[in-house]
Amino acid sequence: MTKRIILLLGCILVLTACGKSHQETGNPENNEHDSQSSKQADQHDEDTNTDEESVGDAGDKIDDTAEEMQDEQKGNMEDVTKMPEYKIIKGQVVMDDYRLNVVEDNRHKRVIILQNKDNHRKEYKSIFMKEDGRLKLIQFNSNGLIYDKTIQ
């Protein structure tokens, strides 16, 4: 019985010693693989840092774009009040409840969307045909076409 225990402990000792020796000296192939892995990990960390910086820059660009859009909308609102169709739209719709957004303005027609200031739902659409001076005002819910006349 003691011989078996001694033999078992000897085997464990030899296996343990061989395992440590292999890990300490290591195989050159394993060392090369380990150094490549660490280089790849370092490269990944650098890429991640670069991506984070890019995201920060993109966030700044988004903020700048949002400010520009707000400035355009303010300028857009001032321009809309000078347009010939504004008086008619104002007579048909309570303007305090809506934000005007010019979605198309070319030499043939101008399209303005009226969005509710509270829930940003598009509720009206104004289409002004410049060539013949016709204005159409459409309510999106149930009423449909609420104005269709020549104003010029």
Residues 52 and 37 in one domain: yes
Domain boundary among 60, 82, 104: 82
- The span from the CA of 46 to the CA of 52, in Å, is 10
> What was the pLDDT predicted at 142?
79
Least confident range of 5-19, 48-62, 118-132, 138-152: 48-62
Domains of the chain: total: 2
Kindly state the tokens that stand for 74. 């303010």
**135 beta partners:** 128, 149
Residues 72 and 87 in one domain: no
> What was the pLDDT predicted at 74?
47
Residues 118 and 75 in one domain: no
Indicate whether this model's pTM tops 0.85.
no
Least confident range of 46-55, 88-97, 102-111: 46-55
Residues 124 and 111 in one domain: yes
Cα–Cα distance list, 83 to 70, 79, 97, 111 (Å): 20, 7, 19, 12
> What was the pLDDT predicted at 137?
94
| 7 domain-assigned | no
User: What proportion of the chain, given as a percentage, has pLDDT over 90?
Assistant: 33
What is the span of the domain harbouring residue 104? 83-150
Confidence class for position 112, pLDDT limits 50, 70, 90: very high
